[in-house]
Structure 1
């Protein structure tokens, strides 16, 4: 798809749903919510437009980050495995305990050999479970998971009968793509791995994506594709694009994401999401 700048949209549009990825899309260079976001959210609320952060982050983390909102917000969390509307979870997707065990075994073996400097997060509905507890790893996990529970051995969580497992997330201190191709090639359907960032690989149900979260919200809100705008920067954001007439890759996005989007927005460091929304929402 030929790249088209956001400024080619000359008139405000009848947008009812705006969905934006977080890291390197909505958030600034320091990973913070830009100051201009809150006035924009107020304007959208007044117009009856729903704004939805979409992220690989934990649901509890998103709730914490956006706790300043005067109204309950809607979220697409854990890369589409949790969808909430106005503060209520309306959709969840899980993975099997057999998959959890398989990935724990893979990561333990890699750690024993020293082949990769990685850490595993078992993402449950109630908490995120980790075994590795060094400061460097904890610092990375804490960026995305507000409710973290360290355990002596991750296999313990397999006995948590009341827990539902949403996905597994592997952090690599080096770029994650080579590690994922090497260690996770044996993951079988209906599961797959997706690169959710430069250093993160998620193992989850292959039938679930952020795009599915967009569809769930569209149905719940009675909103169509022509009334939806989405923003992203990385490969796990692309599934959202086919469900929105107005799909935007921020200027700093991965080349494949830029190619898939209908329009190019300013970079996250230039408050691209806010500038575009203020221009196109009627």
Structure 2
């Protein structure tokens, strides 16, 4: 196998408990030594991703696909940002407010390159946001902050998929259910697959030299950009159907086990 780029989703895929497992770091050192780039790809904020990895040897020089592909870095260089029109961002904020007036238990995060902003400030919502956004500001009104927006992340305490269908199906942009409680609204051409293709071009890597790991609906385009695509055992059924290979779940460190196989020149069994 001539793998030169490995891209992995974080929550539900690589991370068993929201933190990088200690077994990952020796694998990262070996990947780096062999000239294989490892790239975290997540709906998380860039600053949050850097915080997960930069504190360990080898983590300080990683590239990232952040904010579901709307912000892509190659080392310290930002190579791509994809924003939504200002008026569209304001419309999404207004749609969330209308849904709340209708009884939905929602909150919205306006995600910008310089940090994330919220106007809902109860402790339960703030705690959920703080898991994924370390650069997070609370304001009285989001409307003035609806410019240069990468993504609008909507948290639903009940059922994100149902809220997406009920309140946000008519939006012109891309509405992606990123987890049981999260909906991401982005530009129509923004996704993790776009980020993978940007890095492939910059690194001179082909899809045949790319491995990608994912678990949820916002990973589908990323898996399509890699010839070696893997869904973890706990993946959404749609993602499992799209991936070429299945590996053990995140709680069982399936990504790490498959990386060991790749480094040893083997690959997990394809689905029949």
> TM-score, with normalisation over the residues of structure 1?
0.90
Note if contact 2:19-2:52 (Cα within 8 Å) is conserved in structure 1: no
Counterpart secondary structure, 1:174: coil
Which position in structure 2 is the counterpart of 1:211? Answer: 193
Which of 76, 94, 111 does residue 100 from structure 2 map onto? 111
Which position in structure 2 is the counterpart of 1:177? Answer: 161
Shift of 1:129: 0.5
Which of 125, 132, 145 does residue 133 from structure 2 map onto? 145
Note if contact 2:86-2:148 (Cα within 8 Å) is conserved in structure 1: no
Which position in structure 2 is the counterpart of 1:239? Answer: 221
Shift of 1:112: 2.5
Q: Note the residue ranges of structure 2 that are not aligned, 5 or more in a row.
A: 266-272
Q: Which has the higher contact order (CA 8 A, sep 6+)?
A: 1
Shift of 1:155: 1.3
* In 2, Cα distance between equivalents of 1:202 and 1:32: 22
* In 2, Cα distance between equivalents of 1:15 and 1:227: 4
Which position in structure 1 is the counterpart of 2:12? Answer: 24
* In 2, Cα distance between equivalents of 1:111 and 1:240: 32
Q: Deviations over 1:210-245 (max 9, x none)?
A: 001110011110011111100000011011122211
> TM-score, with normalisation over the residues of structure 2?
0.94
1:115-194 mapped onto 2 (5 Å cutoff): 115-158=103-146, 164-188=148-172, 191-194=173-176
Shift of 1:25: 0.2
Q: Deviations over 1:79-129 (max 9, x none)?
A: 00001111221111000110111011111122233x210100011110100
Counterpart secondary structure, 2:201: helix
User: Where do 4+ consecutive residues of structure 1 move more than 3 Å?
Assistant: none
Q: Deviations over 1:64-85 (max 9, x none)?
A: 1111243411000000000111
* In 2, Cα distance between equivalents of 1:123 and 1:149: 10
Query: Alpha carbon RMSD of aligned pairs, Å?
Result: 1.1
* In 2, Cα distance between equivalents of 1:140 and 1:54: 20
